[in-house]
Amino acid sequence: MMRSFEDILEAAKRGGRKKMVVPRPVAADFPVLAQASAAGLIRPCFIGNGGTLKALAGGSFPLEGEYEILEENDPQRVLGRALAAVRDGAGDILMQGGIAAEDLLRALRDRDAGLLPAGGGVSHVSVFPLLKREKLILITDTYIHNQPNLAEKQQILTNALQLARLMGIETPKTAVLAAIEQVNPGIPSTLDAAILSKMAERRQFGQAVVEGPLDIDCALSQAAAKRKGLQSAVTGDVDIYLVPEIDTGYLLAQALVFIGRMQTAGVVAGTSRPVILNLPFISPENRVVEIALACLLCEGGEANG
């Protein structure tokens, strides 16, 4: 089981280099991609104006042979070419590059030209190391879904479970978070949590333990859960935190980084090929870990499992 970002990096290296497609990369992308390339994780493929890309890459890549450039001078065609390359097998991973996140996510969901398998759904999984416990935790969805319904939460959980298993967590323990730990018809998130928990009992998520609804107190502390009359293998030993909506997920991820000073890396899951976003609270070092996470998803087959 992987217990640190170093474990993720080492596991990803063992899978060999993956081809990463980056449409119209920005200057900050090149040092990260060069580091990932030097680590044996990827071989980058840049799409855009060749002259501009060569000039930008020159400061990070000593040799032009370390990367590939696909010439495309029409800004409206850059993203389409990147998606086509990854979708058709000419690339393994897609990175956001200079494309607006909203445009990228909209294109990913396009049933004809995107990277969404039939019946699948995309979500963002953030990974955090708990240094004192030598453990990795996953929080989802931390970027994409504003107010996910039950069916979307089912897919969000499925995506996170797949990544957790690729990280060596054989029976992932999931806390489905809500404001309170009791089912209350007036709080829809508690109903969704209870249904997901029952689905897990009936093995609809495979080998996994799902508990919900749980407030954050019960999720973090077995003592708090017992005080409130809850007994579960999940409380106090959570692998995956499934949040009810974007306010909780995105704010929680940022708070852990900016206030808690925790490290984090994330990846888009649920697509036919892994996708990496350029989120503002990810350090350059941890962006390399994100590339490693994407490489792990490549090893697991389709990113939606």
Q: Give mean pLDDT in consecutive 10-residue pieces for the chain, a chain of 305 residues.
A: 95 94 95 95 95 91 87 92 93 96 92 80 95 93 95 96 95 96 94 97 96 93 88 92 96 96 95 93 95 91 42
Q: Is 211 helix (H, G, I), strand (E, B) or coil?
A: strand
Q: Round to whole Å and give the CA distance between 266 and 128.
A: 9
Q: Which residues partner with 173 through β-bridges? A: 209
Note if the bond before 112 is cis, omega within 30 degrees.
no
Closest C-alpha to 45, from 88, 99, 95: 95
The pTM for the full model equals: 0.93
Q: Which residues of 150-171 are buried (b: 16+ CB within 10 A; e: fewer)?
A: eebbbbbbbbbbbbbbbbebee
Per-residue pLDDT, 118? 67
Q: Determine the Cα–Cα distance for residues 24 and 13; give it in Å rounded to an integer.
A: 26
Contact 243, 141 (CB under 8 A): yes
Residue 297 contacts residue 26 (beta carbons within 8 Å): no
Task: Name, in order, each residue with C-beta under 8 angstroms of 205's C-beta and a sequence gap of 6 or more.
Answer: 157, 158, 161, 199
Phi first, then psi, for residue 256 (nearest 5°) are -65, -35
What is the DSSP pairing of strand 93-95 with strand 240-242?
unpaired
Q: What is the pLDDT of residue 303?
A: 43
The ranges assigned to domains in the chain are: 5-172+239-299
- The residue assigned the tokens 């809850």 is 230
Q: Is domain 5-172+239-299 in CATH 3.40.718.10, yes or no?
A: yes
- What tokens were used for 60? 């990070």
